[in-house]
Amino acid sequence: MGIESFRRVPFILIKIIIPENMSCEKTMRYLIQCGHKQFLPYLKVLCTNRYCTEVKPETKSNPTLWRKPWAHKEGEWFSMFRLFAPEKGGSLEVIRILQNNINFSPQAIQKWIKKTKREASILDMKYIPERHDILGSNLAAAHFLVHRGAAIRFVGSTEWIKRQGDEYDLPNKYNPDYLVEAIDILDMKLYYEGFQNMTNLSSLQWLSLQNCVEVDDWFLDKISCEYQSSLEYLDIGNCVQVSHRGISALYRMSKLRTLKVHNIANSQMFQLACLMLEDIHPQLNIEGVTYLDSENQSV
């Protein structure tokens, strides 16, 4: 049983017999199978812009038209505020801030200022390959440290080099005779990200990180990997973020003779880590840790 349906195409009226309860897709297949070649040229398949691969006439002369910012495209709404619109879209940080409730309390502002200063300091310690290519690893590390307030000493010298005001005396080109032997961080804030500037120092034997509050377990693990075959003296006094895990990571340092851990943790796990480290390296002397309290000593 069938029904009669009429479809109007330009200038031609075609009569088609379509079975009942047939969808549009099945209808097209049915027409093709029936071989109605006389009206197939008049059937046009719709194509949306989303899936169309044909180049539009307006983009042929300017292939990069689609790259224009939305504020510069014709037909888009814009105002004087388009001057502040970013060329490559808004950053995820700005979007995240706009989605959250903005807190203007004094504590939140202080936290934001502290975070901003930390990010700026980390960015200032960014590793610069060109500096190492020109100066070499030792002089590049010396410039990096002395410029930020630390002091260094070269092999065969007893003089500590540190900044006097904004000036310091260091070679500005590669010299193989300058090998860093000792580093004293002093008042410098050294972050984990800045440690990349202190690599390949094969002659480093003395390192003081005293009062550097940014030193943590991850930092000590990096130090134990980088200086395991050269470092003999290490001072991590007042590095309050160090725990027994960081002490345990120093087992790689076979040449370490002196380790200072004043004013860090004094828990039983910390004491046990120091005992195990001294057991692995009998030549090591750890200063600043008390293994037995007064009650146990009296017993």
- Of 247, 255, 186, which is closest to residue 227 (Cα–Cα)? 255
**Calpha distance 229→52 (Å, rounded):** 64
From first to last of its 299 residues, the chain has per-residue pLDDT tens of 444 444 444 444 445 555 666 666 666 666 666 654 555 454 444 444 444 444 455 545 555 555 566 556 666 555 555 555 555 555 677 677 777 777 788 898 899 899 999 999 999 999 999 999 999 999 999 999 999 999 999 999 999 999 988 889 899 999 999 999 999 998 888 999 999 999 999 999 999 999 999 999 999 999 999 999 999 999 999 999 999 999 999 999 999 999 999 998 878 899 999 999 999 999 999 999 887 654 454 43
Residue-range definition of the domain harbouring residue 28: 2-42
Identify any residues that bridge with 15 across adjacent strands, giving them in sequence order: 6
Residues 247, 141 within the same domain = yes
Give residue 164's region: left, alpha or beta (phi > 0; psi -120 to 50).
beta
Classify residue 187: in a domain, yes or no.
yes
Residues 182, 34 within the same domain = no
Strands (E), the chain: 2-9, 12-19, 151-154, 180-184, 206-208, 233-235, 258-260, 285-287
- Cα 15 from chain centroid (whole Å): 68
H/E stretch holding 87 reads none
Classify residue 196: in a domain, yes or no.
yes
Residues 153, 293 within the same domain = yes
Report pTM: 0.64
Classify residue 6: in a domain, yes or no.
yes
Pairing of strands 2-9, 12-19: antiparallel
Classify residue 209: in a domain, yes or no.
yes
H/E stretch holding 48 reads none
**CATH code at 223?**
3.80.10.10
Classify residue 59: in a domain, yes or no.
no
**Calpha distance 235→7 (Å, rounded):** 91
Classify residue 75: in a domain, yes or no.
no
**Calpha distance 203→138 (Å, rounded):** 9
Classify residue 69: in a domain, yes or no.
no
Classify residue 241: in a domain, yes or no.
yes
- The count of domains in the chain is 2
